[in-house]
Amino acid sequence: MRRGRVFGARRTKAVLAAAAAAVGISLGGHTGPLEAQGFPDRPLRLFVGQAPGTATDLVARAVAAKWGELLGQAIVVENRPGAGESLAADAVAKAAPDGYTILFGSIASHGIGPAINRKLPYDPARDFAPISMVGSVPNVLVVYPGLPAANVSEFFALVKASPGKWNYASTGVGTSTHLGMELLKARMAIDIVHVPYKAGGAAFTDLIAGQVSAGLFNLPSQLPLIKSGKVRALAVSSLKRSPHLPDVPTLDESGVPGYAVVVWYAVFAPAATPARVRERLHADLVKAIESADLRERLTGQLGVDPMTSTPDELGRFSQAEIKKWARVVEEAGVKVE
């Protein structure tokens, strides 16, 4: 089995096309021969629910460049940060279903968000047509370098000694950077104040300056800051250590048994997008992710484990994630602020 594929053995192009076509039929799409003729004949827009410079944005731009090359049209990234990525998701859900407006979705828009907020303006299952998984990354617990805590144990001791004194930043309510820390708070019985930001860049700036104490951010956005000493890494949120930070332990190793929060990325189109358009989007996205140059960019520079899926697999996975995070929300007692 090829490394990075989590949904089964590598498929041939013919099998991928057949799987996508089957999903188009099951979703009620039409498969007439003229449906996607000429698609795409103009640039596409890829909505991203995080600000420029965040991990999600960096991954989306890397994927968009290669994917657009294969599609023969530019894919323009449009950042619509805020509200746990629901602003970007809602914009795509209400867009014309012609394949030219697509969503770079994630655990926030199609996992945690629907679990934490039952009043979202979109339905993650009804309003979207899944295209494919893209990849996954761990989060990393980082602190202001001036904080007197060199490891997770010292950090917990510091927070427990002064309940409510310390705070942590997130990239928005309903994101993994928020709920992952709330789960950690519940598991370790610590009192640390949540400070949500609409943009990751602002959160990182305040962390570097010591305006906030800590954060559980996506790994790709933190690697340059960690390597330059602007923030201190205490632990990663996956069950295995990251090859990019081999000396940084996992939270599981650091006294939080079984703790694992892995961020995933995927692409979705509006629900009524014609089946043959979805087939084209899917086929070229899979080619892009499996290309050597993009895989090197994702794994070597951004710390992402690339993966692809059929549309059906992505749909089932997203629904399972919503159920899983609903349990986490209940355990952590998290409510939309």
Cβ–Cβ under 8 Å, residues 277 and 98: yes
Q: Which residues contact 316 (CB under 8 A, 6 or more apart)?
A: none
If you average pLDDT over residues 61-75, what whole number do you get? 98
What is the CATH topology of the domain spanning 13-136+264-332?
D-Maltodextrin-Binding Protein; domain 2 (3.40.190)
The answer to whether residue 44 scores a pLDDT higher than 60 is yes
Question: 104: closest CA among 75, 69, 137?
Answer: 75
Q: Residue 238 above 60 pLDDT?
A: yes
pLDDT band at 134 (very low <50, low <70, confident <90, very high): very high
Residue 266 has pLDDT above 60, yes or no: yes
337 pLDDT above the threshold of 70: no
Phi first, then psi: what are they for 294, rounded to 5°? -70, -40
If DSSP codes are grouped into helix, strand and coil, which group holds residue 224? helix
Q: What is the pLDDT of residue 36?
A: 56
Q: Which CATH superfamily is domain 138-236 in?
A: Periplasmic binding protein-like II (3.40.190.10)
Geometric angle at alpha carbon 9, from 99 and 109, rounded to 5°? 40
Q: How confident is the model at residue 35 (pLDDT cuts 50, 70, 90)?
A: very low
pLDDT, position 13: 37
Contact of 31 with 25, CB cutoff 8 Å? yes
306 pLDDT above the threshold of 60? yes
29 vs 155: CA distance, rounded Å: 53
**Residue 18 confidence (pLDDT) above 50:** no
Domain boundaries, the chain: 13-136+264-332, 138-236
Query: For the chain, how long is the longest CA-to-CA vector?
Result: 67
Q: What tokens appear for 181 in the block?
A: 């820390």
Please name which of 283, 261, 250 lies closest in space to residue 71, comparing C-alpha atoms. 283
**Average pLDDT over every residue of 122-129:** 96
Query: Token digits for 201?
Result: 């860049």
Please tell me the distance from the alpha carbon of residue 50 to that of residue 172, in angstroms, as a whole number: 9
Tell me how far apart the alpha carbons of residues 334 and 323 are, in angstroms, rounded to a whole number: 15
Which pLDDT band, with edges at 50, 70 and 90, does 118 fall under?
Answer: confident
* pLDDT at position 19 over 80: no
Model confidence band, residue 327 (pLDDT cutoffs 50, 70, 90): confident
Residue listed under structure tokens 């629901």: 86
| CA separation for the pair 231, 213 (Å, rounded) | 10
pLDDT of 333 > 80? The answer is no
pLDDT of residue 130: 98
User: In this structure, how many other beta carbons lie within 10 angstroms of the beta carbon of residue 241?
Assistant: 17
* Predicted local distance difference test score (pLDDT) of residue 220: 85
How many residues appear in the chain? 337
At residue 141 the predicted structure's pLDDT band, cuts being 50, 70 and 90, is very high
- Amino acid code (one letter) for 220: P
Q: Identical fold at 13-136+264-332 and 138-236?
A: yes
Distance between CA 281 and CA 35 in Å, rounded? 14
308: buried, middle or exposed (CB in 10 Å: 19+, 13-18, 0-12)? buried
Nearest to 186 by CA among 335, 325, 333: 333
> Does the structure show a pLDDT above 90 at 171?
no
- pLDDT of 27 strictly over 60: no
- Confidence at residue 169, expressed as pLDDT on a 0 to 100 scale: 97
Q: Higher confidence at residue 92 or residue 301?
A: 92
The rounded percent of the chain whose pLDDT value lies above 90 is 69
Q: What's the pTM?
A: 0.75
Per-residue pLDDT of 144-165, as tens digits, reads 999 999 999 999 999 999 999 9
Confidence of residue 336 (pLDDT cuts 50, 70, 90): low
